[in-house]
C-alpha cells in the first residue's frame, strides 16, 4: 500500500513537471520557401535592369525550400532564441543576401518588457534594443500537435498589416516563442508568416535549467531602436535608386521578426 502510494506520488510529481515546466530548451526548424521568396522579391523590383535579370538567373538554380535550425533557452520570464550554426553550401551560400534568414539571436524578458536582437546583415552586426513587439492576437478553436504538445491556433497581426499564424501550448506557461513572437497564454511552438514565405515549428523540447544570456553582439556594436534601424537602413539601401520601397519594407519585416 505504501509502495503504491509512493509510486502514485512520484507519477503525480512527474505529471506536474511535464505539464508546467518553467525552464528548458526548445529546438526549432525554420522552413523558407526559397523560390517563392525570390519571386516575391522579383515582383517588387524595378521592371528592368541588371538586378532583375540576376535574380531570375539565381532563381533557376535555387532549391524550392531550405531549413534553418534554431534553439531557444527559456527560464522563468526570460528566453534566448539563437541559430544553430551550419555551413551554407552551393547556391545557398550565394543567395543568403536575399534575406531568407539573418542568423538573428533574440533575447526577450516578458516580465519587464525587454527585447534585444542581433542580426547578421551583409556581414555586419545589427543590434536592436526596444520594447517587445506588439502583436494583436485572436485565438481560434483549431488544434494541432507539435513536438508532442497539444497546441491551439491563434491568428495575429504585427507591424500594422503583417498576418501571422501561431500555435501555442499552455503546457509550457511562458508567453514567449521563436524570434520576436510572444503574447499568447503559453509557449509558441509553431508560427507561419505567409508574407515572408516561412514557417517555424518546434521539433524537440527538453526540460533543463539553461543559462539565458541577455548580452548581445560586441562592445563596439551600437544598439538601435526599430525606428532608428529603419532610418539607418533606408539610407544604406539607397531606396529609390537601388531598391524600391516595397523591397525595403519586405526586408525590414524580416529583420523585425
Which structural domain range is residue 248 located in? 21-132+194-256
Tell me which of 159 and 242 has the higher pLDDT. Answer: 159
Residue 165: alpha-carbon gap to chain centroid: 13
Domain presence at residue 100: yes
Whole-angstrom Cα distance, residue 68 to residue 224?
A: 26
- pLDDT category of residue 54 using cuts at 50, 70 and 90: confident
Residue 50's pLDDT is what? 53
pLDDT for residue 118 is more than 60? yes
* Number of domains forming the structure of the chain: 1
**Residue 147 maps to a domain:** no
Question: Is 79 inside a domain boundary?
Answer: yes
Q: Which residue has the higher pLDDT, 66 or 124?
A: 66
Q: What is the mean pLDDT of residues 228-236?
A: 88
Query: In the predicted model, what is the mean pLDDT of residues 169-179?
Result: 95
- Asked if residue 5 is part of any domain, the answer here is no
The reply to whether 162 falls in a domain is: no
Q: Does 228 reside within a domain?
A: yes
For 36-50, 97-111, 115-129, 178-192, which range has the lowest pLDDT when averaged over its residues?
36-50
Supply 199's cell numbers.
514557417
| Calpha distance 131→117 (Å, rounded) | 11
Tens of pLDDT along 178-208?
999 999 999 999 999 999 999 999 999 999 8
Q: Give the chain's mean pLDDT.
A: 87
The C-alpha angle 84, 252, 156, rounded to 5 degrees, equals 80
More reliable by pLDDT, 242 or 211 = 211
The tens digit of pLDDT for each residue in 21-50 reads 789 999 999 999 999 998 998 888 776 655
Q: Is residue 167 part of a domain?
A: no
Stronger pLDDT, 129 or 20, i.e. the higher one: 129
What pTM was estimated for this model as a whole?
0.88
Comparing CA positions, the residue from 188, 137, 143 lying closest to residue 158 is 137
Q: Does 165 map to a domain?
A: no
Amino acid at each position: 500500500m505504501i509502495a503504491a502510494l509512493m509510486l502514485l506520488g512520484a507519477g503525480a510529481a512527474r505529471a506536474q513537471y511535464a505539464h508546467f515546466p518553467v525552464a528548458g530548451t526548445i529546438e526549432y526548424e525554420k522552413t523558407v520557401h526559397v523560390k517563392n521568396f525570390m519571386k516575391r522579391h522579383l515582383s517588387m523590383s524595378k521592371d528592368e535592369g541588371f538586378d532583375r535579370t540576376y535574380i531570375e538567373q539565381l532563381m533557376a538554380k535555387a532549391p524550392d525550400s531550405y531549413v534553418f535550425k534554431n534553439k531557444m533557452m527559456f527560464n522563468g520570464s526570460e528566453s534566448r532564441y539563437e541559430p544553430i550554426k551550419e555551413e551554407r553550401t552551393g547556391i545557398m551560400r550565394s543567395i543568403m543576401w536575399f534575406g531568407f534568414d539573418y542568423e538573428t539571436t533574440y533575447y526577450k524578458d516578458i516580465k519587464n518588457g525587454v527585447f534585444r536582437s542581433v542580426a547578421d546583415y551583409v556581414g555586419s552586426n545589427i543590434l536592436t534594443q526596444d520594447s517587445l513587439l506588439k502583436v494583436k492576437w485572436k485565438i481560434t478553436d483549431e488544434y494541432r500537435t507539435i513536438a508532442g504538445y497539444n497546441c491551439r491556433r491563434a491568428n495575429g497581426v504585427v507591424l500594422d498589416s503583417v498576418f501571422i499564424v501561431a500555435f501555442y501550448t499552455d503546457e509550457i506557461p511562458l508567453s514567449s516563442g521563436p524570434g520576436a513572437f510572444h503574447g499568447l497564454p503559453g509557449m509558441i511552438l509553431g508560427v507561419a508568416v505567409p508574407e515572408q514565405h516561412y514557417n517555424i515549428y518546434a521539433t524537440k523540447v527538453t526540460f533543463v535549467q539553461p543559462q539565458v544570456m541577455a548580452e548581445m553582439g560586441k562592445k563596439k556594436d551600437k544598439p538601435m531602436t526599430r525606428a532608428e534601424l529603419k532610418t539607418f537602413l533606408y539610407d544604406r539601401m539607397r531606396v529609390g535608386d537601388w531598391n524600391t520601397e516595397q523591397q525595403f519594407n519586405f526586408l525590414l519585416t524580416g529583420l523585425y521578426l
